[in-house]
Structure 1
């Protein structure tokens, strides 16, 4: 059996996460039992939610156990199978974690699914046509529920979620405004992701200046907002919301190191009769087939052109992950394992 290199969570961060929180080990891949398949991972997904799992504070899911392989989405190829519905050579997506191989009980629903790479590249099933894309789909459709002509905004606009959100919102006839970090990302958002406008938060580093920029970009106010960041960006958006605006709260990356993120003007929730709803996409598996079908079609039609940042080799995963938390990636952050 092939050697399997793995990255474990060795200890929990005290404040900011560091590479010393992780440990690289090697082990033998196990002999397969009936119903299992062995997957050779081609790509590993890095996502902001992983930072929350590293801590043992109260959250929507159990913390990542110490001494175990870091959680994470993977795509790859079946290299051995003892399950009748999976054959050697099948391309698959699952949650194999930060390792080169995984032995998966394919009889358990939802652990592994075949993917078609005819029109959609394999890596896209970790981004635009995977969990991040479905996240954008759910927040937009089930919480914001925009009408044609409404203005919707998203933070972290050029990431895996934001880029999918733009394509989905444009397909519904919305005016779409993004918030991203740096002129290159904003240029990409407008020219390739078809945002109507994109605001560089780095040139608007406080509530007052960002709110002014939002007023210019959203002259008719904001009807829907998809929140990935929190902090002063949320405060600035709240100042520009229309009555009965809807806010889908997906992430609060500004607070992932443990610092509190108080609201400056919570009275706006009442004044504008806002609907604010947090959600976890894994709790809504019923929408995944419909969402993935639309996202795959948008990619095949060239209406969704997500960008990827790819680190090479399992050893690069910790540094790439820490870079993701600081916005150093451009588009979906991946680790290529072969």
Structure 2
């Protein structure tokens, strides 16, 4: 069977461009015992994938040039030689960017689309939701009355982080890249204040005004000058959660910023980076709690969905220009 796939044509230097991707035809192998034929329904694009485009050691192997890119996919089983999966089942897995694919049934997770829409398993019930849940609750340990700041607040993780912090009784301040996103976060997601970092004349002054009692928890999805500004306001025993550094993903040379470790020392603050897979053994408990909050209407979610397999490169590139509100997906 002939399928279309998207391969890494070349490694980016700085910002990725459409030229780094190539569409090509490929032949799928015949099904073997334990395998299934899948048709993707939704394909996720995520900032961490930028790091995998580099030929560098990291927590996950790099993409290979001339090989398909891969990421989180919700797919429907078309044909099965797996005892655990039947045609029509909907599954979640790390799969290549292809119009159809053959996969090992043991590496797939069957999902319940009666509990939540299929796309949610790539968002609020998937990696972004789990990232928000464990990063905030395990590392940040928010307490009632504390102030928490979230960078990248209108992204897939940031939207969930802010809402969970509100459930825990925090004052929540976000940073986002447009007035439209700021208004959305306040009206629909309960943020107390949101600063448009692209238009502010004085980020530190606006942050200080929004956080009159300082910052107790900082959930960092961005890094760069935003983080420099937030760290200047941290309180004694503050917790800094390093989830993403999207401001630096396209850097060709390391940036030299403020040296803030003396402040971490004198404030007895905790700064910790994490990868959501660190918590893989606890995923079921988090998904159950997130699903309960969604069902009870305590967590809301926003998706930006582009239609068509051919839109995958555009969707990915859009992550770095802020085109998404919430989770960025492609519907195939």
Higher alpha-carbon deviation: 47-56 or 148-157: 148-157
Distance 1:164 1:255 in 2: 23
Q: CA deviation at 1:44?
A: 0.5
Q: CA deviation at 1:60?
A: 2.6
Higher alpha-carbon deviation: 252-261 or 238-247: 252-261
Distance 1:174 1:30 in 2: 53
2:152 aligned residue (142, 156, 164) = 156
The answer to whether the 8 A contact 2:216-2:237 is kept is: yes
Residue 211 of structure 2 corresponds to residue 218 of structure 1: yes
User: What does residue range 327-338 of structure 1 map to in structure 2 within 5 Å?
Assistant: 327-337=322-332
Distance 1:78 1:211 in 2: 51
Q: CA deviation at 1:321?
A: 0.9
Q: CA deviation at 1:53?
A: 0.6
Distance 1:253 1:234 in 2: 11
1:197-236 CA distances to partner (integer Å, 9 max, x unpaired)? 111111226xxx1111111111111111111111000001
3-state secondary structure, aligned to 2:96: coil
Partner of 1:32: 31
The answer to whether the 8 A contact 1:72-1:95 is kept is: yes
Alignment size in residue pairs? 330
Partner of 2:76: 77
Query: For structure 2, which runs of at least 5 residues remain unmatched after alignment?
Result: none
1:319 aligned residue (307, 314, 317) = 314
What's the C-alpha RMSD, in Å, of the aligned pairs?
1.4
Q: Which segments of structure 1 move beyond 6 Å, counting only runs of 4 or more?
A: none
Q: CA deviation at 1:292?
A: 1.0
Distance 2:305 2:92 in 1: 18
Q: CA deviation at 1:119?
A: 3.5
Partner of 2:254: 260
Partner of 2:292: 297
1:240 aligned residue (220, 233, 236) = 233
Q: CA deviation at 1:304?
A: 1.9
Q: CA deviation at 1:17?
A: 0.9
The answer to whether the 8 A contact 1:35-1:106 is kept is: yes
Residue 120 of structure 2 corresponds to residue 124 of structure 1: yes
Distance 1:287 1:129 in 2: 13
The answer to whether the 8 A contact 2:156-2:325 is kept is: no
3-state secondary structure, aligned to 2:115: coil
Residue 199 of structure 2 corresponds to residue 203 of structure 1: yes
Q: CA deviation at 1:158?
A: 1.2
Distance 1:261 1:276 in 2: 19
Q: TM-score when scaled to structure 1?
A: 0.94
Q: TM-score when scaled to structure 2?
A: 0.96
Query: For structure 1, which runs of at least 5 residues remain unmatched after alignment?
Result: none
